[in-house]
Structure 1
Amino acid sequence: MSDTKEHGSSSASGSGKRYRGQRGKTKALDIVNMPNKDRIEVEVNEWGQPNKKKSASKLVTWIGTIARNRLYCPQTYPNWKKIPQPYKDDCWKVIKDKFIIHDDSKNWVFDRLNHRWREHKCDLKAEYYTKYDSDSDRRMNLDPHVMPIEDWDVLLKYWDDEKNKEISEQNKKNKKNQKMHHRTGSTSFAVIREKMRNENLDKKPPSRMEMFDRTHTPSKGGEMDPESAKTMDQLRVALSKESEERQKDSAVQDEVFRGTLKRNSHGWVRMYGPGVTPKQVFGIEGLRTQRREERIVDLRAENSQLKEKIAQQDDKIAEQSDKIAQQGWLGNLEKKDLWSTNGSHFGEIVKYLNLASFVMILGPTYFENTADMKMRYNQIHASMLMKLGRLSLLSFLMLNLALLRNLAPVNCYFQYIPGFLSQVLKPIAFGGT
């Protein structure tokens, strides 16, 4: 396959239109015209990421020209994973022809190829698809140097698909909702990490907290964006709770960072840049620990939301109880001495109702297994029967209503509780009256 390819060919590079005074996409002619035996050496870190700015910049430029070349990276495939492996092998070969780079960097190189390939497709879509209202206009205005018309028709069909349009719109919204932005420009995190390592007297790599501070602070002065500044303040507050000696420990800073920010995206380690996996950084045991800690953070957030939701539901229950009382039959219960004059039995039922609900909602979080949760639920039921002896059946129904409360939608629950109380519980309490 590679024998028939011309890397510098403008017809294959997809360079597209260029207007007077406008700089086109680089063709990396300085690299193309290098003597055959000359190669640029690329220094990399322990993760296989290029960490010297000059060689890294040249390599990224070369990767960009390959990603735009349809003979190496055809644009007709829906995503990078769908591109057949022989194409990727040819990409790696043409990179190795110009650069001295270890095979450990292959994951990083393919990650960058994927990124630049998607960027190129995005540029093509903006230039030749979005501008026009019909496919006929899109065909007419396509630069013949970009790709053959039959390949363009494949892309048009893909972009015209309603499902793909929805995904595209959602991706645009997600991009707009991104509130934190790094300020590193074209300089990679790996280059910045190496620079910070060399700045340290002990030559230790920076913590993720230190990396966040450096990469989100404008290099020419100025302030972080509001969301980054807020996050940095949270990190400093969390770190200040540690002893002065521990605050200087990179491991402690990483622990604070991990506990403060949201979990990493799948296969991605925040503050390390592309091509680095959680398994590489944390190892198997470290990765398990990290996932446990992230799970704890998620559970705390979920518990906080659940407690807030329970409080809102309790307010609604109190409101419904007041409405029922206004209807008259709750007052009749008090007159028949089924409830004490101060409403203590009613208070007990509400207490057990909420306690049982708490067990059913948060049981999976606080109990190690279902048996423990069921045992606690039965303890609550038994205690309720002991306290409310002659209302045992009523208490049983109320307790199971707590279960219904968690299985049924909230709106449904509050829609039917007045009718449930009046039609079922009232006859039981009054013996059919």
Structure 2
Amino acid sequence: MTQTVAAPHAAVPTRAWVVLALGLLAQAAGTLLVSAPVYLIPLLHLQLGVPLAAVGALTAAPTLGMVLTLVLWGAAADRFGERWVIAGGLALTTAAAIAAAVTAAATDALVPLGIALFFGGAASASTNAASGRVVVGWFPRHRRGLAMGVRQMSQPLGVAAAAVTVPPIASAAQTSGVFVAISALLVVLTAACAIGIRNPPRPQIAPASAAGSAPAGSSVSAAGSAPARPAPPPNPYRTSAFLARIHAVSVLLVVPQFALATFGMVWLIAGLGWTPAAAGLLMGVSQFVGALGRIVIGALSDRVGDRVRVLRRVAVAGVIVMALLALVALAHGAIPAGFAVGGIVLVLATVVSVADNGLAYTSVAEAAGSAWAGRALGVQNTGQFIAASAVGPGIGAAIALLGYPLVFGLIALAPLIAIPLIPREDRHG
């Protein structure tokens, strides 16, 4: 008898790449809204004199909103599918962006704007939770590292877009103009995702074995009862500590990422004397290069076949570049062309700081399995954004008290602590 064997590396359907592209753009647009307050810091702090800790609290408002809804959005994606979770979440994000524009035009107070941004972050979390699940559903394992690397470009691309566009728009049209522009973009992407995204095929779950077996060809058990219900997949958090360890590692590695994204531009301006336009452009370049780096790292993990080993090397690199940045911040005045050297090292540190996300997300999704991926990615995002929401006010206050060099050095401890927590081998659900 001839048996047909499936090709080990089946082709990825075109639909998968279309859905991936839309998910990337959706999350990038949400990140643009969440990151906009960061690039309002030069206007609010350096020109209007708002304390750095207060501005840091404003930047934390959208990430705090994300923290409270990520798991809920992930559970919704597991139950209802990715299409309407992403499209519906973007519609709510659009409403929050419009509210932010109206609020910013009506008053200079930061609290009402922070409330609007809080709800914007809560809504935009839908794209974080659901777009990662799309990768697991549409792509085979041998392409998931690359696909998740592409998907994970969304965060640095959104930050890059904010870095390049927010300062000039704020200069020309104030804070309200920034959120008007973001609202227009979100309207377009909401419609595109509602039309173009399709839920991936869901794998069939094997039925639980029954006591005794029915005769061949019978549709009922020997006792005449209906077929047994499919056995639900086990809770991956109860079968292994792998997911918990990856979550903890990701929380630690997100500290330098958000610290540099939030205060890197301010350091360039206040510490090295860069102009706001030049600093914004450099931050945009660093985030764009970081986005490309995520693709390279994801493809490398596919080639190596060991995601946690690559993740460990990224963490080691994170310690090195943050320590180097601390030294440059301390001694840039004594370094020839310290103005330029500081910018180069900041770009290098930023690229390394964003490289781990795709690896960790892919590891979480694969270990959780398709039935738990949405919830597990929601937990993954929640932990990261809890840390991120503390970075704004916490690091801002620390910089005001201790200065940039010492704070950069302290941030290097986060990836150092993460290294021994990284599991020794991958796990697949």
| TM-score of the pair, normalised by structure 2 | 0.24
In proportion to residue count, which structure has more helix?
2
| TM-score of the pair, normalised by structure 1 | 0.24
With CA pairs under 8 Å and 6+ residues apart, which has the higher RCO, 1 or 2? 2
